Amino acid sequence: MLTRKQHELLIFIDKHLRTTGFSPSFEEMKEALKLKSKSGIHRLITALEERGFLRRRAHRARALEVIRLPENMAPRRGLEANAAGGSAGSQAREVPAAPAGFAPNVIRGNFASHLAGVQKSAHEAAAVHLPLYGRIAAGLPIEALRDSGSSVEYPAALLGTGEHYALEVAGDSMVEAGILDGDTVIIRRGDTAENGAIVVALVDENEVTLKRLRRRGNSIALEAANPHYETRIFGPDRVKVQGRLIGLLRKY
């Protein structure tokens, strides 16, 4: 049995998936359920996963999938659930039964199966497969990193125009920009970028790195987002931009 909050969250996620083709953000879920923090949403999602109603998809942003829905989509009229946050327990109180002779008309159907098919179609239409070029490693240009057998899914609506690829991040040089070791970054291919953008840069034709780009006169600075790493400065002919960061995927 689901608690009231678990039921509300599951129905909200299901409706959002069918409307937009992708799952809501934690901020949207927090506001929809009128919770004070996102930690409550984490607990509710974990509880729904454990009960087999939700599944998180690896290597995708905002990737929740509804596996099944409650048998009764509407809250039960004969029970009042009283539960705190995402706790598994609940207390129920019966209300008076319907008068004798009451015989409601019920239309039965395999709605859960139908909704699963709709959600799958919407998900497939909303996501694209991007080539995964492997981990950023010194001594190799981007093209040499590519593994043609690997790819990641990413919402098409978040890409915009242009050609894109994905890279797995190695190291902690960009942690203060929210990019952690093991993250997958989404890159829009291009040889130019505005000042201050986080880019994939090829240095001296043999080293690939993910850093923030700064132009200083006739020089180019590649800044880390970690005070333990120094800023590296090069002449303009030593650095080639190979793409700009536009998104990030993280597996929890």
Tens of pLDDT, residue by residue over 168-195, are: 888 888 999 999 988 999 999 999 999 9
Question: Bridge partners of 240?
Answer: 202
pLDDT of residue 137: 55
On average, the pLDDT of the chain sits at: 76
Query: What is the domain partition of the chain in residue ranges?
Result: 4-108, 129-249
**One-letter amino acid of 54:** L
pLDDT of residue 223: 92
pLDDT of residue 181: 87
Tens of pLDDT, residue by residue over 92-124, are: 333 344 444 444 444 344 545 444 554 444 444
Is 30 marked active-site?
no
Tens of pLDDT, residue by residue over 65-98, are: 888 888 765 433 333 333 333 333 333 333 344 4
pLDDT of residue 177: 92
pLDDT of residue 6: 87
Token pair, residue 144, equals 């040499």
Give the rounded percent of residues in the chain with a pLDDT score beyond 70.
71
Per the CB < 8 A criterion, the answer to whether 41 and 13 are in contact is no
Q: What is the CATH number of domain 129-249?
A: 2.10.109.10
Is 173 marked active-site?
yes
Tens of pLDDT, residue by residue over 207-235, are: 888 999 999 888 999 999 999 888 999 99
pLDDT of residue 87: 36
pLDDT of 196 over the 90 cut: yes
H/E element holding 247? strand 239-249
**Which class would CATH give 4-108?**
mainly alpha
Which of 211, 219, 240, 251 is an active site residue?
A: 211
Tens of pLDDT, residue by residue over 120-164, are: 444 444 788 898 877 775 445 565 555 556 888 898 888 888 899
pTM: 0.49
User: Roughly what angle, to the nearest 10 degrees, separates helices 4-20 and 38-50?
Assistant: 90
CA atoms 244, 191, 130, 122: torsion sign: positive
Which of 23, 173, 219, 240 is an active site residue?
A: 173
